[in-house]
Amino acid sequence: MSTETPLSTETALSTEIPRPVLEGRGLVKRYGHVTALDGCDFELLPGEILAVIGDNGAGKSSLIKALSGALIPDSGQLLLDGEPVRFHGPADARRAGIETVYQDLAVAPALDIASNLFLGREIRRKGVFGSVFRLVDKPRMQSDAAKHMADLKIGIRSMGQAVETLSGGQRQGVAVARAAAFARHVVIMDEPTAALGVKETGMVLDLIRRVRDNGLPVVVISHDMPAVFEIADRVHVQRLGRRVAILRPSETDMAEAVAIMTGAAPGNLAAA
């Protein structure tokens, strides 16, 4: 008779892989004879920073556009918190709680910080002034903007300051704060350290960590390998329209990641 003690329910549950917050299964996207996504899989786990890397033409942009609603896959499935979803545009993804910070940041340089944080989502005044005359509640927007910036420890003195007067890192901070303010599930960042100096890159990486620490998992698409290996919990390697490897920076190095990314070394997924 066996003397082994069965695992308790608590122990068994503790060993389970958490359900992905955002998942793609077998995503396919073709543009004529060009296949941008070729049965691509993707999983973002709760509480993690996931980096997506790949050479030019690997399908990174198409993957991120599919996740953020900017393109509709020809086939495959997207799941949010385990439930199938279908986005017909970026607005659908935003309504589902997925916010994207694009490389161009999509900020209005001449407007102040508060106006940029609430761009397209302005808070109206109460009563007839808001409902009929559609006047914005500027004091509340500035107060809420200051709170969002403080939550992420972004040090800017005045929410009335024009974004065009900010440094590159500070502008990135405004765009990230806007995404974090409205995201309920996921924040996606496209090349967040592009064209930034060493000091500003460090500031943005700290900012990404704070977004994650505040409860939002983050997807980072980047060519900046040192930044990827400094900040990512896991690395999704994309090649020829498919995911070919999942790496942990604590268990591998940049040379191996680049070799897999360029096809000089095999991936670590049996189905890839």
- Whole-number average pLDDT of the chain: 89
Show the CA angle centred on residue 45, arms to residues 39 and 48, nearest 5°. 125
State the architecture of 18-110+162-262 in CATH terms. Answer: 3-Layer(aba) Sandwich (3.40)
Domain ranges for the chain: 18-110+162-262, 111-161
CB 49 within 8 A of CB 213: no
| pTM of structure | 0.86
Q: Give residue-wise pLDDT tens across range 78-129.
A: 999 999 999 999 999 999 999 999 887 788 899 999 999 998 888 888 876 6
Q: Give residue-wise pLDDT tens across range 15-71.
A: 567 899 999 999 999 999 999 999 999 999 999 999 999 999 999 999 999 999 999
Pairing of strands 34-44, 218-221: unpaired
Cα separation values, 50 from 44, 139, 231, Å: 7, 37, 9
